[in-house]
Amino acid sequence: MADRNLGAPSSFKPFSATASFLHPSRKSGRGRGRGAGGRGNGADAASDRIDALGRLLTRILRHMASELNLDIQSDGYVRVADLLKLNLSTFAKLPLRSHSLDEIREVVKRDNKQRFSLLEKDGELLIRANQGHSIRLSGQPLFAVWLAKLVTTYAASSGLVANCTISSESLLKLILSADQIPVCVHGTYRRNLESILQSGLKRMTRLHVHFSSGLPSDGEVISGMRRDVNVLIHLDVKKALQEGMKLYISDNKVILTEGFDGVVPAKYFEKIETWPVREIIPFQP
């Protein structure tokens, strides 16, 4: 893909499909990078290769599909064959084109958070990210999280829009009753709580606000919350549904909502507690 200058200030360089942001520096002295450096054995190298491929796929499928001119369906699926044609390198500095369909399958199989789904359709293999997209709905600007602030003004003035029609209804399963999700909790940090109580939970540059269907200590919870959170915000699902908030659940059991205009107001919080002590934090919405 040709470089595109997005009218950034002179201190910024135009980005391209082979930009160096795809190769974040690794911490020295740790074993994570041994496969790429050739110091580990064959098993280490193969594992690093698959891990690096999975990290790049996550970034592309969640944040970059339309910017890379991939044909993305309303349910988030793209053709694996199209992915493997991209002129990109993984975090192990291996060309994406050097990977195989079997390696794509291995990424999906190994991912313990079940971030991906595979689909075979008309003899073709397709893949999607199950949640976490920063892709906007049809007709709105599309940018990766790291680029959003830089280019939003330019996009609005130039009419640059994403070739993307991802919809929540196609990507996710609609929740119709509070009985479907007995636990709906958002993990955060004490330092963020004052702002959240004032302004609500915001989806920011993503499509949805994320909630978990269980607690951090639950073995079945695989995605939707960081393990080191120290505050849990429980959503009043019944009230939210009654007042018209749409809630969805992904294939990997993450609960998602666009809220109202991208925000879940504090009046829909059922309770707030510390974690892991679980002391109730009084609040007034």
Q: What is the CATH number that goes with domain 1-169?
A: 1.10.10.970
Q: How far is 69 from 140, CA to CA, in rounded Å? A: 15
For residue 57, what pLDDT is reported?
Answer: 95
For residue 165, what pLDDT is reported?
Answer: 56
For residue range 227-283, what is the model confidence (pLDDT) as tens digits?
899 999 999 999 999 999 999 998 888 999 999 999 999 999 999 999 999 999 999
Q: How far is 173 from 157, CA to CA, in rounded Å? A: 35
pLDDT at residue 20 is higher than 90: no
Q: List CB contacts of 279: < 8 A, sequence separation 6 or more.
A: 273
For residue range 138-195, what is the model confidence (pLDDT) as tens digits?
434 444 333 443 433 343 333 333 344 577 777 789 999 999 999 999 999 999 999 9
Domain spans of the chain, in order of start:
1-169, 172-274
Whole-number Cα distances in Å, 54 to 49, 50, 61, 223: 9, 6, 10, 16
Q: What is the CATH number that goes with domain 172-274?
A: 3.20.170.30
- What are the structure tokens assigned to 220, written together? 């079945």
pLDDT band at residue 202 using 50, 70 and 90 as cut-offs: very high
For residue range 84-138, what is the model confidence (pLDDT) as tens digits?
999 999 989 999 999 999 999 999 999 988 899 999 999 999 999 988 888 554 4
Average pLDDT over residues 186-209: 93
Q: Are 248 and 168 in contact (CB under 8 A)?
A: yes
